[in-house]
Amino acid sequence: MKRRILSTSSSALALLLAASPGARAASTTGSTALTVNGTVEQACTLGSWTFDLTSGSGTFDGTNAVSLTLDTDADAELDSFAFTLSAPGMCNFSHKLFFRPGAGSNGLHRGAAENPPSGFTNHVNYQVQLSGWLPFTFGTTTNGTPTNTNPQPGITLSGLQPTNTTMTLTVDQPAVSGGPLLLAGSYSDTIEIAIGNF
């Protein structure tokens, strides 16, 4: 009986050993490819302006307003003025730039569009240039008159490449001697600049 039991046990062991390789072969290693996605939002920024007065008398409020003294000699004749404003900027996508000097009065203008007395003027034109942002310098001169305060049309440039640089705005006007005298008062105009997707 013992031999028979041992024989039976040996047979069971042999069957167990025979089944083991088959069990290992049935176990496989799983694998997969994991995709990681990310997005970056469109962004355009224009930092704080740095003011540099190169001619005449004027101040900057540190944000968006320049105050000039157009007649530093108190003789009612236009004195020269020139300044630059520079600001770091960035657009991380193909974008547009809108530039409109003379947006307020097409030149520095005093009050309403009334006709000044003979020999006087209430309007001062100026030259303006935008550089740094574009691969070229864009410049123009306001061309309003004392009786024409229609805003100057702006220019929109599209399809500009992503940019990370400094934008510089230069405004200047030479002195005028022997021309119409300036009426006393406050003169103002607006220069509009926009970058982005609009």
Question: Which CATH number characterizes residue 98's domain?
Answer: 2.60.120
> What pLDDT does 26 receive?
60
Residue-number span of the structural domain to which 63 is assigned: 44-196
Please give the single-letter amino acid code of residue 84: T
pLDDT at position 75: 93
Whole-number pLDDT of residue 71: 92
pLDDT at position 1? 43
Is 4 part of a structural domain of the chain? no
Asked whether residue 158 is assigned to any structural domain, the reply reads yes
3 within some domain: no
Structural domain contains residue 21: no
Query: Is residue 88 within a helix (H) or strand (E), and if so which, with residue range?
Result: strand 81-91
Asked if residue 90 lies in contact with residue 44, where contact means CB atoms within 8 angstroms, the answer is yes
Q: What confidence tens digit (pLDDT) does each residue in 20-50 have?
A: 555 555 668 889 999 999 999 999 999 999 9
pLDDT value of position 38:
98
Q: Is residue 34 part of a domain?
A: no
The count of domains in the chain is: 1
What pLDDT, on the 0 to 100 scale, is given for residue 69?
96
Report which secondary-structure segment, H or E, holds 68. strand 66-69
Q: State which residues of the chain have pLDDT below 50.
A: 1-18
- Output the six-digit token pair for 184: 């006393």
pLDDT at 73: 85
Residue 48's alpha-carbon distances to 19, 88, 133, in angstroms, are 78, 7, 15
12 belongs to a structural domain: no
Is 65 within the bounds of a domain? Answer: yes
In a domain, 95, yes or no: yes
